[in-house]
């Protein structure tokens, strides 16, 4: 509440049943609607100047002929009221007595003319695009489609309007009011260069955790539980990147196969936390539960980044359901083809939001600001961001979306991560986003996977990726942390599956194993899937250590996927988007096995090493220039112990030595002093035979201490072995040796 007067008014309204619309007392003759205001959009509870409490409703519906507000009581009975005020295509009205917790929706009237893009159908109850909470779940029976699905002439099925009422079958928006001002919250504000991102699924991370009470597993409250946070803090990550938590719907083809959309990349409510992740069944309580989760993570020093899907919605194409935007103003919200009956699809999901339309752009930016200012989040990862950057057709880095973000005083200050591609022509834009943005770097992923399966023709690509991808990002003032380095993500093999399978095994998805990529760049170490061969098992564990070590030693921002540090497997499924079960959930029982506990220990130790040493998280690209004594900030060595020549970069090789100098690191610390650090030599050897590597002598070092040796099974402590400069050391097959310069 914003004042004591509001609180008193709310109490008075709740204590007077015959003026309370939540329940629809028979003493109320219809619904009294005052003019209200066109802003803010959505349903906003307030107390008017005369002390009357109620809710202001405002809906942008360009081209609509009429809008009805629909209120639902606890029994599901509907009462309708016309919103007659119209200001700049926004229909609005203030309804006294409508309190927080009230369920509602809209019916929008207009011309049904799919041939020109008009798909208005007042028989369909529509979710408010600005609803802050959603009650119920989308099940997609025929009644929720604007067109008749069973029309005998399927080629024109989407042009025949369905007159059946969808209200009994669709969720409703919920009026929410919260007085939370975040005054007691302290955002971690971790600098980009110091960040370690941990991608997780709210349900999948907590659903099987033995330390979380059963009733909280799979929920926001479960992620806020001390047992969950203990793992994150112990691991050392600085941010969690949550797979979509906007309200989403399950696709019809999945429901017909008895499956569900698990990942959530099918949004329908951009302001509402997904109700399925709330531990409380009380209407609207998911908002407060989400905020408490954010507070708990912040208190532990962990930022919250949301994976957001503004490129498309759950309404799919012309044969998809009518749930919200399609029935409010189809032409305004979606990109249509020249044949306006069809949708422009740059996303592979049937539709693409028309982001150059001002009110669509407003919807997205209002949503983003809401999650920052009122829900406390610290940043966003934009799914298929190239689709948002399209102006009319082509991807445009001066597009309205990117321009608005760049000048917004709230959004330009949070973490912004682009998935820099979409499925349309010219959609691959890695390295092209403006300096404000960081990007998922799939060229890093591909290079590291190929190196460790010994499939690179030479080491040129690996050199760029290990040192921050300057070839992609050293322009326009961008820094090494513009590159989000990852080897795995939610989409694709887990890390353990990457070394256990070469082919996808997606039969459980029910699509004939046709879904999911065939370009896995994986190596199964000699057997497809699980095996009892201890030699192969040991090699796989070593490969896991190699991959994690490479990731956490690379310049840029590392991103881990939840469970990779525990040896999580999906049984070879590289597209588990519909596996809301043990396949998709993290198995915490793996911690009981010493081999996987050792992997966790190594991961934690590597992250701690990264946090201690600024040379591993540089804020500026390496220069490669030599000091007067010949020492460079970055140098590359062959196994002979000599600096690499131009020809060495092009020669077939499985071994690469990378020297990182801790002297004169660009930048200054908080006190203004120069930043200095230890120097390190990393030797990466992907060959299947041991190699003799000559350690570089002066000026590079006098002695070296082994910090990490991935050939060892026991990773609880550093080896601590000392070597003299110019000594020839044996690097075991397929291993990483990290040495600290000791003198």
| Residues with a known catalytic role | 383, 419
Q: Which residue, 683, 669, 549, 676, is CA-closest to 615? A: 676
- Give the whole-angstrom CA distance, residue 243 versus residue 576: 13
Dist CA 629 CA 482 (whole Å): 32
Residue 337 CB neighbour total at 10 angstroms: 11
- Cα–Cα dist 428/705, whole Å: 43
CA distance 595 to 602: 11
CB 494 within 8 A of CB 563: yes
The DSSP line for 42-70 is EEEEEE-TTS-EEEEEEEE-TT-SEEEEE
Length, in residues, of the chain: 743
Q: Residue 458: helix, strand or coil by DSSP?
A: coil
What is the C-alpha to C-alpha distance for residues 39 and 44, in angstroms, rounded to an integer?
9
Q: Give the residues across from 308 on adjacent strands.
A: 382
CA-to-CA distance for 701 and 654, rounded, in angstroms? 24
How is 151-189 classified by DSSP, letter by letter?
Answer: -S-GGGGGGSBP-S--GGGS-EEE--------TT-----
Q: Tokens 């660009």 identify what position?
A: 666
Helix (H, G, I), strand (E, B) or coil at 692: strand
Which region holds residue 679: left if phi is over 0, alpha if psi is between -120 and 50, else beta? beta
Report the C-alpha gap between 656 and 640 in whole angstroms: 11
Hey, which residues does 135 pair with through a beta bridge? 172
DSSP H helices, 374-453, are 385-388, 400-407, 442-452
What is the C-alpha to C-alpha distance for residues 369 and 40, in angstroms, rounded to an integer? 13
The pairing of beta strand 118-119 with beta strand 112-113: antiparallel
**Cα torsion for 198, 199, 203, 209, to the nearest 10°?**
-30
CA atoms within 13 A on the CB side of 392: 1
Distance CA 582, CA 455 (A): 33
Report the distance separating Cα 543 and Cα 555, nearest Å: 20
Looking up tokens 């509907």 gives 78
């Amino acid at each position: 509440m914003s004042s004591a007067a509001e609180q008193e008014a709310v109490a008075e309204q709740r204590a007077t049943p015959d003026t309370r619309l939540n329940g629809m007392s028979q003493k109320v003759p219809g619904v009294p609607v005052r003019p209200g205001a066109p802003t803010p959009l959505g349903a906003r509870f307030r107390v008017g100047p005369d002390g009357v409490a109620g809710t202001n409703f405002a809906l942008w519906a360009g081209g609509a002929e009429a809008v009805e507000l629909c209120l639902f009581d606890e029994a599901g009975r509907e009462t309708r009221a016309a919103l007659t005020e119209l200001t700049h295509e926004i229909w609005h009205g203030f309804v006294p007595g409508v309190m927080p917790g009230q369920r509602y929706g809209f019916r929008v009237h207009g011309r049904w003319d799919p041939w020109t893009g008009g798909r208005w159908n007042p028989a369909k109850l529509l979710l408010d695009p600005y609803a802050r909470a959603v009650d119920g779940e989308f099940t997609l029976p025929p009644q929720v489609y604007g067109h008749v699905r069973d029309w005998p002439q399927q080629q024109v099925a989407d042009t025949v309007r369905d007159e059946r009422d969808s209200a009994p079958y669709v969720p409703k928006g919920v009026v929410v009011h919260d007085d939370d001002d975040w005054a007691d919250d302290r955002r971690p504000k971790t600098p980009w260069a110091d960040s370690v991102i941990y991608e997780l699924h709210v349900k999948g991370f907590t659903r099987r955790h033995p330390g979380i009470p059963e009733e909280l597993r799979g929920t926001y409250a479960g992620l806020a539980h001390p047992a969950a946070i203990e793992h994150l803090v112990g691991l050392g990550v600085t941010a969690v990147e949550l797979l979509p938590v906007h309200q989403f719907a399950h696709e019809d083809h999945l429901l017909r196969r008895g499956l569900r959309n698990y990942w959530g990349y099918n949004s329908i409510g951009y302001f509402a936390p997904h109700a399925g992740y709330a531990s409380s069944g009380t209407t609207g309580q998911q908002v407060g539960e989400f905020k408490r989760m954010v507070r708990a993570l912040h208190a532990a020093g962990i930022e919250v980044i949301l994976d957001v899907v503004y490129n498309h919605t759950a309404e799919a194409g012309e044969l998809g359901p009518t749930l919200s935007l399609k029935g409010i103003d189809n032409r305004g919200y979606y990109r249509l083809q020249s044949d306006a009956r069809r949708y422009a699809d740059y996303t592979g999901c049937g539709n693409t939001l028309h982001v150059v339309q001002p009110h669509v752009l407003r919807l997205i930016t209002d949503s983003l600001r809401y999650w920052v200012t009122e829900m406390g989040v610290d940043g966003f990862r934009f799914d298929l961001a190239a689709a948002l950057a399209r102006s009319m057709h082509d991807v445009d880095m001066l597009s309205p979306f990117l321009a608005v973000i760049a000048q917004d005083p709230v959004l330009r200050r949070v973490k912004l991560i682009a998935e820099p591609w979409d499925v349309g022509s010219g959609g691959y834009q890695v390295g092209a986003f403006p300096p404000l943005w960081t990007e998922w770097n799939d060229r890093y992923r591909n290079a590291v996977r190929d190196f460790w399966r010994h499939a690179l023709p030479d080491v040129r690509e690996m050199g760029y990726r290990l040192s921050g991808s300057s070839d992609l990002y050293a322009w326009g003032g961008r820094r090494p942390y513009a590159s989000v380095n990852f080897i795995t993500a939610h989409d694709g093999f887990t890390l353990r599956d990457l070394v256990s399978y070469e082919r996808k095994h997606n039969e459980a998805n029910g699509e004939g194993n046709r879904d999911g990529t065939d370009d896995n760049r994986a190596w199964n170490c000699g057997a497809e899937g699980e095996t009892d061969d201890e030699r192969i098992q040991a090699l796989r564990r070593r490969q896991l250590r190699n991959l994690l070590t490479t990731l956490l030693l690379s310049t840029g921002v590392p991103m881990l996927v939840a469970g990779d540090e525990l040896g999580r497997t999906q049984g070879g499924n590289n597209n588990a988007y519909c596996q809301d079960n043990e396949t998709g959930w993290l198995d915490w029982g793996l911690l009981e096995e010493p081999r996987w506990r050792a992997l966790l220990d190594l991961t934690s130790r590597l992250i701690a090493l990264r946090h201690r040493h600024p040379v591993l998280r540089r804020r500026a690209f390496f220069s490669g220039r030599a000091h007067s004594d010949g020492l460079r900030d970055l140098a590359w060595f062959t196994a002979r112990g000599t600096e690499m020549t131009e020809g060495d970069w092009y020669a077939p090789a499985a071994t690469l030595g990378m020297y990182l100098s801790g002297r004169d690191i660009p930048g200054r610390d908080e006190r203004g002093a120069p930043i200095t650090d230890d120097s390190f030599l990393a030797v990466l050897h992907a060959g299947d035979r041991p190699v003799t590597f000559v350690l570089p002598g002066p000026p590079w070092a006098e002695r070296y201490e082994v910090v990490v040796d991935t050939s060892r099974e026991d990773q609880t402590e550093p080896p601590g072995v000392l070597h003299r400069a110019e000594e020839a050391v044996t690097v075991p097959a397929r291993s990483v040796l990290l040495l600290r310069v000791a003198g």
